[in-house]
Structure 1
Amino acid sequence: MKEFLWPVRVYYEDTDSGGVVYYANYLKFMERARTEWLRSLGFEQDELREKEGVLFAVRKVGVEFRSPARFNDALQVSVQLISRGKASLVFRQEIRSAADGRLLCDGEVKIACIDAASFRPAPIPHALLSVVSE
Protein backbone atom coordinates (compact mmCIF):
# COMPACT_ATOMS: atom_id res chain seq x y z
CA MET A 1 0.00 0.00 0.00
CA LYS A 2 1.21 3.45 -0.74
CA GLU A 3 1.77 6.05 1.93
CA PHE A 4 -1.23 8.12 3.06
CA LEU A 5 -0.63 11.65 4.39
CA TRP A 6 -2.83 13.68 6.71
CA PRO A 7 -2.19 17.28 7.81
CA VAL A 8 -2.47 18.23 11.48
CA ARG A 9 -2.13 21.64 13.13
CA VAL A 10 -0.83 21.82 16.70
CA TYR A 11 -3.33 23.63 18.92
CA TYR A 12 -2.64 25.15 22.30
CA GLU A 13 -4.55 22.26 23.93
CA ASP A 14 -2.01 19.81 22.42
CA THR A 15 0.91 21.36 24.28
CA ASP A 16 2.34 21.32 27.76
CA SER A 17 3.20 24.40 29.82
CA GLY A 18 6.35 24.89 27.74
CA GLY A 19 4.44 25.06 24.45
CA VAL A 20 5.75 21.66 23.33
CA VAL A 21 3.41 18.90 22.13
CA TYR A 22 2.62 16.58 25.03
CA TYR A 23 3.99 13.11 24.20
CA ALA A 24 0.61 11.28 24.30
CA ASN A 25 -0.83 13.65 21.71
CA TYR A 26 1.46 12.23 19.03
CA LEU A 27 -0.54 9.00 19.43
CA LYS A 28 -3.75 10.99 18.94
CA PHE A 29 -2.35 12.48 15.74
CA MET A 30 -1.48 8.98 14.51
CA GLU A 31 -4.97 7.73 15.40
CA ARG A 32 -6.60 10.55 13.44
CA ALA A 33 -4.46 9.79 10.41
CA ARG A 34 -5.34 6.07 10.52
CA THR A 35 -9.04 6.99 10.74
CA GLU A 36 -8.69 9.27 7.72
CA TRP A 37 -6.75 6.55 5.85
CA LEU A 38 -9.64 4.16 6.45
CA ARG A 39 -12.13 6.83 5.37
CA SER A 40 -10.12 7.47 2.18
CA LEU A 41 -10.61 3.78 1.35
CA GLY A 42 -14.38 4.17 1.72
CA PHE A 43 -14.84 2.77 5.22
CA GLU A 44 -16.27 4.52 8.27
CA GLN A 45 -15.59 3.02 11.68
CA ASP A 46 -19.15 3.49 12.91
CA GLU A 47 -20.50 1.75 9.81
CA LEU A 48 -18.08 -1.15 10.27
CA ARG A 49 -19.39 -1.52 13.83
CA GLU A 50 -23.05 -1.32 12.79
CA LYS A 51 -22.94 -3.35 9.57
CA GLU A 52 -20.07 -5.77 10.15
CA GLY A 53 -20.09 -5.94 13.95
CA VAL A 54 -16.39 -5.17 14.28
CA LEU A 55 -14.21 -2.57 15.94
CA PHE A 56 -10.51 -1.82 15.67
CA ALA A 57 -8.39 -1.60 18.81
CA VAL A 58 -4.74 -0.76 19.28
CA ARG A 59 -2.91 -3.92 20.33
CA LYS A 60 0.70 -2.72 20.36
CA VAL A 61 2.55 0.56 19.88
CA GLY A 62 6.24 1.34 19.56
CA VAL A 63 7.09 5.03 19.23
CA GLU A 64 10.30 7.01 19.08
CA PHE A 65 10.21 10.73 19.82
CA ARG A 66 12.93 12.51 17.86
CA SER A 67 12.30 16.25 17.90
CA PRO A 68 9.61 18.38 19.54
CA ALA A 69 6.64 19.93 17.77
CA ARG A 70 5.37 23.22 19.15
CA PHE A 71 2.21 25.27 19.34
CA ASN A 72 0.86 26.27 15.91
CA ASP A 73 3.21 23.98 13.96
CA ALA A 74 1.80 22.38 10.82
CA LEU A 75 2.51 18.66 10.78
CA GLN A 76 2.23 15.88 8.21
CA VAL A 77 1.24 12.47 9.59
CA SER A 78 1.89 9.44 7.40
CA VAL A 79 0.22 6.05 7.43
CA GLN A 80 1.65 3.06 5.64
CA LEU A 81 0.26 -0.45 6.00
CA ILE A 82 3.26 -2.76 6.31
CA SER A 83 1.56 -6.08 7.05
CA ARG A 84 -1.81 -7.64 7.59
CA GLY A 85 -3.12 -10.78 9.16
CA LYS A 86 -6.55 -12.36 9.32
CA ALA A 87 -7.52 -10.14 12.27
CA SER A 88 -4.76 -7.52 12.44
CA LEU A 89 -3.07 -4.68 10.58
CA VAL A 90 0.39 -3.26 11.25
CA PHE A 91 1.18 0.33 10.30
CA ARG A 92 4.36 2.35 10.02
CA GLN A 93 3.67 5.98 10.91
CA GLU A 94 5.74 9.14 10.89
CA ILE A 95 5.02 12.67 12.02
CA ARG A 96 7.02 15.32 10.23
CA SER A 97 7.18 19.09 10.23
CA ALA A 98 5.22 20.33 7.22
CA ALA A 99 7.56 23.33 7.04
CA ASP A 100 10.87 21.50 6.60
CA GLY A 101 10.12 17.76 6.54
CA ARG A 102 12.01 17.17 9.79
CA LEU A 103 11.09 13.84 11.41
CA LEU A 104 9.53 14.48 14.82
CA CYS A 105 8.13 11.10 15.78
CA ASP A 106 7.81 7.66 14.21
CA GLY A 107 6.62 4.24 15.14
CA GLU A 108 4.74 1.04 14.47
CA VAL A 109 1.15 0.43 15.49
CA LYS A 110 -0.56 -2.96 15.49
CA ILE A 111 -4.35 -2.84 15.25
CA ALA A 112 -6.59 -5.78 16.14
CA CYS A 113 -10.00 -6.34 14.59
CA ILE A 114 -12.42 -7.36 17.35
CA ASP A 115 -16.04 -8.40 17.60
CA ALA A 116 -18.05 -5.38 18.81
CA ALA A 117 -20.13 -7.47 21.22
CA SER A 118 -17.56 -9.82 22.74
CA PHE A 119 -14.31 -7.88 22.23
CA ARG A 120 -12.74 -11.12 21.02
CA PRO A 121 -10.58 -11.23 17.87
CA ALA A 122 -12.61 -11.21 14.65
CA PRO A 123 -11.67 -11.49 10.98
CA ILE A 124 -11.18 -8.23 9.14
CA PRO A 125 -14.22 -7.74 6.85
CA HIS A 126 -13.62 -9.13 3.37
CA ALA A 127 -14.46 -5.81 1.66
CA LEU A 128 -11.71 -4.03 3.61
CA LEU A 129 -9.19 -6.83 3.12
CA SER A 130 -9.77 -6.79 -0.63
CA VAL A 131 -9.02 -3.05 -0.77
CA VAL A 132 -5.86 -3.22 1.33
CA SER A 133 -4.61 -6.24 -0.60
CA GLU A 134 -4.50 -4.33 -3.91
Structure 2
Amino acid sequence: MRAQNGVGSFAHRCRVYYEDTDAGGVVYYVNYLKFMERARTERLRELGFVQSVLARENLLFVVHSSEASYRVPARLDDELLVTAQVIELNRASLRFKQQVWREADMTLLCEGQFLVACVRADTFKPRAIPEALRAAFAAADGPGTHSIAGD
Protein backbone atom coordinates (compact mmCIF):
# COMPACT_ATOMS: atom_id res chain seq x y z
CA MET A 1 0.00 0.00 0.00
CA ARG A 2 1.22 3.48 -0.77
CA ALA A 3 0.59 5.72 2.20
CA GLN A 4 -0.61 9.29 2.07
CA ASN A 5 -0.36 12.36 4.32
CA GLY A 6 3.43 12.24 4.62
CA VAL A 7 3.46 8.84 6.29
CA GLY A 8 6.03 7.48 3.85
CA SER A 9 6.26 5.60 0.62
CA PHE A 10 5.12 2.26 2.06
CA ALA A 11 2.76 1.42 4.91
CA HIS A 12 1.22 -1.84 6.07
CA ARG A 13 -2.29 -1.59 7.52
CA CYS A 14 -3.19 -3.63 10.59
CA ARG A 15 -5.67 -3.54 13.45
CA VAL A 16 -5.09 -3.85 17.19
CA TYR A 17 -6.67 -7.05 18.52
CA TYR A 18 -7.47 -8.04 22.09
CA GLU A 19 -4.40 -10.29 22.17
CA ASP A 20 -2.18 -7.24 21.46
CA THR A 21 -3.32 -5.38 24.58
CA ASP A 22 -2.94 -5.48 28.33
CA ALA A 23 -5.84 -5.53 30.79
CA GLY A 24 -6.40 -1.80 30.21
CA GLY A 25 -6.85 -2.21 26.46
CA VAL A 26 -3.48 -0.58 25.68
CA VAL A 27 -1.06 -2.20 23.24
CA TYR A 28 1.73 -3.97 25.10
CA TYR A 29 5.06 -2.39 24.08
CA VAL A 30 6.62 -5.49 22.49
CA ASN A 31 3.72 -5.81 20.07
CA TYR A 32 4.86 -2.66 18.24
CA LEU A 33 7.98 -4.67 17.32
CA LYS A 34 5.72 -7.39 15.91
CA PHE A 35 3.74 -4.84 13.88
CA MET A 36 7.03 -3.49 12.49
CA GLU A 37 8.30 -6.98 11.66
CA ARG A 38 5.14 -7.63 9.68
CA ALA A 39 5.59 -4.35 7.80
CA ARG A 40 9.17 -5.29 6.84
CA THR A 41 7.92 -8.67 5.60
CA GLU A 42 5.17 -7.01 3.57
CA ARG A 43 7.70 -4.51 2.22
CA LEU A 44 9.76 -7.40 0.85
CA ARG A 45 6.62 -9.01 -0.56
CA GLU A 46 5.61 -5.75 -2.30
CA LEU A 47 9.04 -5.69 -3.97
CA GLY A 48 8.51 -9.26 -5.22
CA PHE A 49 10.51 -11.18 -2.61
CA VAL A 50 8.90 -13.76 -0.33
CA GLN A 51 10.82 -14.81 2.76
CA SER A 52 9.94 -18.51 2.47
CA VAL A 53 11.36 -18.53 -1.07
CA LEU A 54 14.46 -16.62 0.02
CA ALA A 55 15.01 -19.19 2.81
CA ARG A 56 15.00 -22.00 0.22
CA GLU A 57 17.66 -19.98 -1.60
CA ASN A 58 19.76 -20.04 1.61
CA LEU A 59 19.00 -16.43 2.56
CA LEU A 60 17.47 -15.13 5.77
CA PHE A 61 17.11 -11.69 7.29
CA VAL A 62 17.69 -11.43 11.04
CA VAL A 63 17.34 -8.42 13.32
CA HIS A 64 20.77 -7.41 14.56
CA SER A 65 19.64 -4.45 16.66
CA SER A 66 16.56 -2.39 17.31
CA GLU A 67 15.64 0.94 18.81
CA ALA A 68 12.12 2.16 19.52
CA SER A 69 10.54 5.26 21.01
CA TYR A 70 7.00 5.06 22.29
CA ARG A 71 4.97 8.29 22.08
CA VAL A 72 1.24 7.63 22.43
CA PRO A 73 -0.46 4.31 23.17
CA ALA A 74 -2.50 2.42 20.63
CA ARG A 75 -5.69 0.87 21.92
CA LEU A 76 -7.98 -2.04 21.18
CA ASP A 77 -9.54 -1.84 17.68
CA ASP A 78 -7.31 1.01 16.47
CA GLU A 79 -6.38 0.73 12.80
CA LEU A 80 -2.67 1.30 12.32
CA LEU A 81 -0.39 2.21 9.45
CA VAL A 82 3.11 0.81 9.89
CA THR A 83 5.85 2.16 7.65
CA ALA A 84 9.06 0.41 6.59
CA GLN A 85 11.64 2.51 4.76
CA VAL A 86 15.21 1.45 4.04
CA ILE A 87 17.47 4.34 5.01
CA GLU A 88 20.79 2.52 4.71
CA LEU A 89 21.68 -0.26 2.32
CA ASN A 90 24.98 -2.02 2.98
CA ARG A 91 26.63 -5.06 1.46
CA ALA A 92 25.08 -7.49 3.96
CA SER A 93 22.61 -5.41 5.96
CA LEU A 94 19.77 -2.91 5.76
CA ARG A 95 18.71 -0.23 8.20
CA PHE A 96 14.98 0.41 8.34
CA LYS A 97 13.28 3.48 9.73
CA GLN A 98 9.80 2.52 10.88
CA GLN A 99 6.81 4.34 12.29
CA VAL A 100 3.44 3.24 13.65
CA TRP A 101 0.56 5.67 13.09
CA ARG A 102 -3.05 5.55 14.26
CA GLU A 103 -4.93 5.88 10.99
CA ALA A 104 -8.06 7.61 12.36
CA ASP A 105 -6.24 10.80 13.38
CA MET A 106 -2.76 10.23 11.88
CA THR A 107 -1.11 10.32 15.30
CA LEU A 108 2.45 8.99 15.48
CA LEU A 109 2.43 6.28 18.15
CA CYS A 110 5.85 4.69 17.91
CA GLU A 111 8.98 4.96 15.78
CA GLY A 112 12.24 3.14 15.56
CA GLN A 113 15.18 1.88 13.58
CA PHE A 114 16.17 -1.70 12.91
CA LEU A 115 19.46 -3.03 11.59
CA VAL A 116 18.62 -6.21 9.69
CA ALA A 117 21.43 -8.54 8.62
CA CYS A 118 21.42 -10.85 5.63
CA VAL A 119 22.69 -14.31 6.58
CA ARG A 120 23.02 -17.79 5.11
CA ALA A 121 20.10 -19.98 6.24
CA ASP A 122 22.36 -23.00 6.78
CA THR A 123 25.10 -21.35 8.89
CA PHE A 124 23.68 -17.97 9.97
CA LYS A 125 26.90 -16.37 8.73
CA PRO A 126 26.66 -13.02 6.94
CA ARG A 127 26.18 -13.04 3.19
CA ALA A 128 25.83 -10.35 0.58
CA ILE A 129 22.35 -9.12 -0.24
CA PRO A 130 21.55 -10.34 -3.79
CA GLU A 131 21.87 -7.62 -6.42
CA ALA A 132 18.22 -7.93 -7.51
CA LEU A 133 17.07 -7.24 -3.96
CA ARG A 134 19.54 -4.38 -3.52
CA ALA A 135 18.33 -2.81 -6.75
CA ALA A 136 14.67 -3.19 -5.73
CA PHE A 137 15.25 -1.46 -2.39
CA ALA A 138 17.36 1.28 -3.96
CA ALA A 139 14.72 1.97 -6.61
CA ALA A 140 11.81 1.90 -4.17
CA ASP A 141 13.29 3.95 -1.35
CA GLY A 142 15.07 6.45 -3.54
CA PRO A 143 18.10 8.64 -3.07
CA GLY A 144 18.05 8.43 0.72
CA THR A 145 19.27 4.85 0.51
CA HIS A 146 22.94 4.37 -0.03
CA SER A 147 25.52 1.68 -0.18
CA ILE A 148 28.48 1.49 2.15
CA ALA A 149 31.34 -0.85 1.29
CA GLY A 150 32.78 -3.25 3.81
CA ASP A 151 29.65 -4.17 5.77
Same structural fold, with TM-score higher than 0.5 when normalized by the shorter chain: yes
Give the structure 1 partner of residue 33 of structure 2. 27
Amino acid aligned to 1:27: L
Amino acid aligned to 2:52: D
Give the structure 1 partner of residue 129 of structure 2. 124
Provide the rounded CA distance (Å) in 2 between the counterparts of 1:133 and 1:104: 27
Provide the rounded CA distance (Å) in 1 between the counterparts of 2:69 and 2:90: 24
Give the structure 2 partner of residue 40 of structure 1. 46
Provide the rounded CA distance (Å) in 2 between the counterparts of 1:121 and 1:97: 36
Q: Displacement of 1:132 after TM fit? A: 1.4
Spell out the pairing of 1:1-134 with structure 2 (5 A cutoff). Answer: 3-51=9-57, 53-134=58-139
Amino acid aligned to 2:77: N
Secondary structure at 2:84 match in 1 = strand
Q: Displacement of 1:127 after TM fit? A: 1.3
Provide the rounded CA distance (Å) in 2 between the counterparts of 1:122 and 1:32: 23
Superposed CA offset, 1:12-46 (max 9, x none):
00001111000000000000000000000000001
Superposed CA offset, 1:95-118 (max 9, x none):
011000111000101100001011
Secondary structure at 2:72 match in 1 = coil
TM superposition score normalised by structure 1: 0.96
Superposed CA offset, 1:75-127 (max 9, x none):
11011110110000001100011000111000101100001011111111121
What runs of 5+ residues in structure 1 fail to find an aligned partner? Answer: none
What runs of 5+ residues in structure 2 fail to find an aligned partner? Answer: 1-7, 140-151
Secondary structure at 2:119 match in 1 = strand
Q: Displacement of 1:3 after TM fit? A: 2.2
Q: CA RMSD in A?
A: 0.9
TM superposition score normalised by structure 2: 0.85
Count of residues in correspondence between the two structures:
132
Segments ≥4 residues shifted beyond 2 Å: none
